[in-house]
Amino acid sequence: MPELLCGDDPEPSDRSPAGPLFVPVRPGPSGYAARLFRTPLGERTAVGFTSARGLAATLGPDQAWIRLAEPALRALAAPLGVTTVTVDPQLSAPAPTPVAPLAPAAVSLRIARTA
C-alpha cells in the first residue's frame, strides 16, 4: 500500500500543539479536576476549547475552567488511560422532542371452543 503524503492524509499522524486551551473542570476533594468526556463512539477524551466563548456556548456560562497548554492536558489525562484530546468539540445535541403516548390498539381475541 503506498504511503500517504501529509497533504493527502485526512488525519495527520503528527500532533501539533493546540496552544493554551480553556479546559472545563469540576470541583473535587483536593481542588479542581479536569472533566473528561466521551466521543460519539464511547472513547474517553480530554476536552479543551480555544476560546472561553466556545466553552460557554457548548457547556454553559457557569462551567468552571482553567487554562492549560495542550501537552499539559495530555500529560494530565494520560495516567487515567485517556490518550485523546478533543479541541473545540460540538458536545451539545438538540433536546429530544417529547412524543405523545399512542392510544391503545383495540385487541380482539378469538377463543377456540373445544367440544
- Give the whole-angstrom CA distance, residue 34 versus residue 57: 18
Contact residues for 25 (Cβ-Cβ < 8 A; gap 6+): 32, 33, 34, 35, 64, 65, 66
**How do beta strands 20-28 and 65-69 pair?**
antiparallel
What's the pLDDT tens digit per position in 8-59?
544 444 455 567 999 999 999 999 999 999 988 899 999 999 999 999 999 9
pTM of model > 0.75: no
What's the pLDDT tens digit per position in 52-89?
999 999 999 999 999 999 999 999 999 999 999 999 99
In a 10 Å sphere around its CB, with 0-12 CB exposed, 13-18 middle and 19+ buried, how is residue 55 labelled?
Answer: buried
